[in-house]
Amino acid sequence: MQAREVTGERIRDKIAASKKEGIWVGGVVPLGYRVVERKLLIDETEAGTVRFIFRRYLELGSLEALIDDLKHKGVVTRIRTFATGRVVGGVPFTRGPLAYFLKNRMYLGEINHGANSYPGEHPPILDRDLFDAVQAELAVQATATGFRRSPSDALLTGRLFDHLGRPMTPSYAVKAGVRYRYYTSRRGTGSSGADAASLVRVSAPDIEDAVLKALASTEDRIGTSKIVGPAAAGPTAVGRLTREPCAIQDLIDRVAIRSGSIEISLITNAVGPDWPEKIAVPWSKLPTRVHRDIIAPAEGQWPDPRAMSSDTRSRLLSAVAVSRRWFDDLVSGRVEHVEKLAVREGRSPRYVTMLLSLAFLAPNLVRAIVDNRMPRGIGVTQLMDLPCEWSQQRLALGLANS
């Protein structure tokens, strides 16, 4: 195992050294180039398409507008045929591959290596003024749309779509000081009726974890990392995704939520031929509301089958808390007897005695109050002066034993 790791390290070092010298060491050939005797040469027909896409982006100023324009003009990705006979490409550009395309410094005659690039042996297709102008516009658009974000936040921004094909955008809610992240369907123009009513919200950590696990499982099944694009750095590509989640943008084109599953479409330029074009894994949205069964009566039905109101529940929980505090005062000796406790609290001795009985309420009844499973019609008065035996308390309240 150690020898294998040493060999792998030597290979990576050799590749890094070659790239620093500007030598193309293989991989996916960018649109606009062809390989002759292991050298990159310009394919003039494709090079014209590359220049057109860069200039058109400056004219339109938007990736979405450029995607629509290229699709309308019939400009598609390059068709590639692997030794296995598998054919990929020839499809309209999507946001992920197009953004990577517009940032590819190989078109300046440079060789990419991780976050760096070095002067290459191959000729440039673009002049630097055009390339720099595109990078400046991309930076402006990224700032305007919030495209650049914390690496640990909203991994699937721009990649996630619901069952109706609508994009899902990051959102969050704060409850009791805790921040909960979600992805929510974006209502389409003219959405109404059933479409508007079926907007989807899913837990961001749940869907992101499912995607990362699917990638890791696929890599394990293949046996070794076959990612060849910018996501391939470090011992394993998926391992890097868990450490630097923003790299997922370099690997995944689209994640679609289906009925009972999610479908992950990979960027063909970022994965090797052993990887599938799509990964489908079982997945279901966890319920946002916890189902609670209301405790049923021993016989018959309650006039109102709903759970007790939130006001009643709050009063009950407060009364139980007060009764336990009073009981603790008496047991510890902080208060000598009930009469002095009544004087301290400004209550009658009878009221204090009745409320103290809530300190002996069965734990399962207290839990039912906390979980909001107690039926309407039961309040503080009904819970006072119940039998001391816990099993008898439910019978006294007319509740079925669980």
Q: What's the pLDDT score for residue 237?
A: 45
How far is the C-alpha of 308 from the C-alpha of 286, rounded, in Å? 26
In Å, how far from its chain's centre is CA 147?
Answer: 16
Tens-digit pLDDT profile for residues 61-73: 888 889 989 998 9
Contacts of 296 (CB under 8 A, 6+ apart): 375, 399, 400
Q: What's the pLDDT score for residue 190?
A: 45
Q: Are strands 160-161 and 252-258 parallel, antiparallel or unpaired?
A: parallel
How far is the C-alpha of 273 from the C-alpha of 82, rounded, in Å? 7
pLDDT of 355 strictly over 50: yes
Q: 96-105, 140-149, 173-182, 248-257 — which one is most confidently predicted on average?
A: 96-105
Q: 143-147, 224-228, 300-304, 318-322 — which one is most confidently predicted on average?
A: 318-322
pLDDT of 254 strictly over 80: yes
| Residue length of the chain | 402
Q: What's the pLDDT score for residue 192?
A: 47
pLDDT of 6 strictly over 50: yes
Tens-digit pLDDT profile for residues 140-193: 766 555 433 444 467 888 889 998 888 988 887 776 566 778 888 876 544 444
- What would the DSSP string read from start to end of 143-212? HHHT-S--TTS-TTTTTEE-TTS-BEEEEEEEETTEEEEEEEEPPPTT--HHHHHT--EEEHHHHHHHHH
Tens-digit pLDDT profile for residues 45-88: 999 999 999 999 988 888 888 998 999 899 988 887 777 777 87
| Per-residue pLDDT band at 235 (split at 50, 70, 90) | very low
Alpha helices per DSSP H over 61-154: 63-73, 95-102, 128-145
Query: DSSP character for 251?
Result: T
pLDDT of 42 strictly over 60: yes
- Least Cα distance to 250 among 226, 225, 272, 267 occurs for 267
| pTM assigned to the model | 0.39
Domains and CATH numbers, the chain: 15-145 (3.90.1750.20), 160-282 (no CATH), 310-397 (no CATH)
Question: To which residue do tokens 């910018």 refer?
Answer: 230
119 by DSSP, 3-state: which?
A: strand
The separation between the first and the last C-alpha atoms of the chain, rounded to the nearest angstrom, is 56
